[in-house]
Amino acid sequence: MAGIAGPCSSGVLFRAREAGGNINGASMAQFDGLRQVESMHMPVNGNKSNGFAFTSAPKCRTIKAMASPTVSAPKREKDPKKRTVITGMGLVSVFGSDIDTFYNKLLEGESGITLIDRFDASNFSVRFAGQIRDFSSKGYIDGKNDRRLDDCWRYGIVAGKKALEDANLGPQVLETMDRTRIGVIVGTGMGGLTAFSAGVESLIQKGYKKISPFFIPYSITNMGSALLAIDTGLMGPNYSISTACATANYCFYAAANHIRRGEADIMVVGGTEAAVMPTGVGGFIACRALSQRNDEPHRASRPWDKDRDGFVMGEGAGVLVMESLESALNRGAPIIAEYLGGAVTCDAHHMTDPRSDGLGVSSCITKSLEDAGVSPEEVNYVNAHATSTLAGDLAEFSAIKKVFKDTSEIKINGTKSMIGHGLGAAGGLEAIATIKAINTGWLHPTINQDNLEPAVTIDTVPNVKKQHEVNVAISNSFGFGGHNSVVVFAPFSP
């Protein structure tokens, strides 16, 4: 359920600690910015154990990783039925809903992080976010539904329809197509959090009879894909994925596999999120995951900087139209870039902390390159997850160094330094930034790079954009629970 099984399940651990609870001898840790600062051990009652105790996992368990067979000359997919290209993009962001405006703002190094004014946050310890303002769904959602919908679904529907328009798949064109061959996978980490919170408030204050009939439908996480399909008549594979902040990349990976297996010709895919509201902000404050730089919001998100103190919440939606090359060529579609491959793995380590050895991430990168038919030497751009957390930034960097032995030609950057962390939408927005880098030959900067960590030895494009011809790019997204995802994009070559 949205709002119950969101990306931060750490509340189980924190509440148990505060109540002095016992979780079968589990070691329960306190975290500051997702870094362990203290731990305590709870005694076991007898010998009983359910085998699933929550643990702080201060040390990574030794896991034997079987090396994948060495591929001396990777071969990319040649079959036009299986090659997957990007033919459309759509977004809703803190910089608006126009793709070029969004990327130009990123290239300029402009921060979209401001003080929250959607609700009274004056008593919150964190009072800023990448809050979207002046959003309009006019022309995409009718007025009656627009008033009812949670922002999570409004963002997703608008981004999805804009992506279809960009792919020359407007309503009139879709009516002439076999829509059973077109699917939708738009995921979310939190779901309709405002709808869920409003329903709970009605229950507590007025009783169950006053709960809106839209409470459940507009809260559950599958509704983004469902509503977009209902509006457009798309009858192909349709579901949502919720893997916290890795959600959108998981969706891209799943959608491409539907195309490769011949189950769909076109997939409308991405992530959407709208958690800049009291429950969302308050929940992440409780996780001790957020920056508290209230006096300088625009300088709060600072990946790889020694003075970083947590991530900054963002919101929005990012959606791609993924299509078989055969389908795109047959209908004369604009081909923006090519999706070469991807991978998903799990850290199997901790609810919020990354593995210190980076095994889950490095293996995910390696598997994505194998799936793409790409050698590490071909990659020269990484759009990093780079959330600005104390532990996460260095763990990701370590994993990147482990896979790419020669990083002299690689550049990495952090989109979240300007728009904040879009949670389930992050991978969608960052995929668009990655593809725009491929198309324009310009990489946006990572802003607020004032005091770089000494261990970070790859060019992070600090503070000012750089011209860079992208050969192959990867985009990383990782989520609470240890969910890792990597997708691989490249310029389209017939």
Quickly list DSSP for 256-310: HHHHHTTS-SEEEEEEEE---SHHHHHHHHHTT-B---TT-GGGT--TTBTT--S
Q: What is the largest CA-CA distance in the chain?
A: 69
Active-site choice (258, 385, 444, 483): 385
296: which residues sit within 8 A by CB, 6+ positions away? none
Encoded tokens for 390? 């104390």
Q: Which residues pair with 474 in a beta bridge?
A: 382, 488
- The conformation of residue 386, written as its DSSP 8-state character, comes to -
Round to whole Å and give the CA distance between 195 and 192: 5
Round to whole Å and give the CA distance between 301 and 312: 6
Active site residue 468: no
Active site residue 258: no
Active site residue 385: yes
Active-site choice (258, 349, 350, 421): 421
Nearest to 473 by CA among 405, 404, 424: 404
The interaxial angle of helices 278-286 and 193-206, nearest 10 deg, is 100
Encoded tokens for 403? 């896979």
Q: Are 183 and 264 in contact (CB under 8 A)?
A: yes
Quickly list DSSP for 323-366: EEHHHHHHTT----EEEEEEEEEE--S-SSPPPTT-HHHHHHHH
Active-site choice (8, 60, 152, 245): 245
Encoded tokens for 282? 């308050």
Q: Which residues pair with 343 in a beta bridge?
A: 486
Q: Any idea which residues carry the catalytic annotation? A: 245, 385, 421
